[in-house]
Amino acid sequence: MKELAQNAESCFFCTHITSGQPITSRPMAVLKADDAGHFWFLTSDDSHKVEELRQDPFVQLFFQGSKYSDFLTVHGTAQISKDKAKIKELWNPMLKTWFTQGEDDPRITVLQVVPTGGYYWDNKHGNAIAFMKQAVGAAVGVTLDDSIEGNLNVK
């Protein structure tokens, strides 16, 4: 899970998950995936997502590593904090784009997502082999599947 998340080209952070209603999603950068399987983000305390998480902390994250592999979805709960030590740990200068006062910007808020489960899809033999199997399969009209998938059980 950590490897798929760290190698992902994109992550969509979804909140306001209600049956029969569209989910609210937004792209976000995972700043850290720790050894416990937790995902760490920085956001602004005046964002809509923080307001939504205060009402309901259940979230779902969607990752895509490449066009043909490294797909991951994780569901869990988000915890909100103003932990200055964690902000310092996660900070990088590019974040000044959103937090113009730098690392000490009072709006910076830490989001920690603690997974409760998930699902992954990947290929067994790497992108080159998967692409070749797909191309040959398309040419001869046969499905040559190189995928692997499964549940992520988080304890």
Question: Which residues, given as ranges, of the chain have pLDDT below 70?
Answer: 1-2, 4, 7, 9, 68-69, 123-155
Which pLDDT does position 135 carry in this prediction?
A: 46
CA distance 107 to 123: 41
* Tokens standing for residue 108: 């910076």
Measuring CA to CA, how many Å separate 83 from each of 2, 69, 109, 111, 153?
A: 22, 35, 8, 10, 28
Rounded to two decimals, what is the model's pTM?
Answer: 0.78
pLDDT at 95: 95
- 69: which 2 tokens? 């592999």
Q: For the chain, how many residues are written?
A: 155
Residue 86: the pLDDT is: 97
CA distances from 155 to 100, 119, 135 (A): 38, 14, 39
Instruction: Give residue-wise pLDDT tens across range 7-40.
Output: 676 788 777 777 788 888 889 989 999 988 899 9
Alpha-carbon gap, residue 59 to 24, rounded angstroms: 10
Q: Which pLDDT value is given to residue 94?
A: 94
pLDDT value, residue 132: 46
**What is the predicted pLDDT for the residue at 114?**
95
User: What does the DSSP assignment read for 41-68?
Assistant: EEEETTSHHHHHHHH--EEEEEEE-SSS
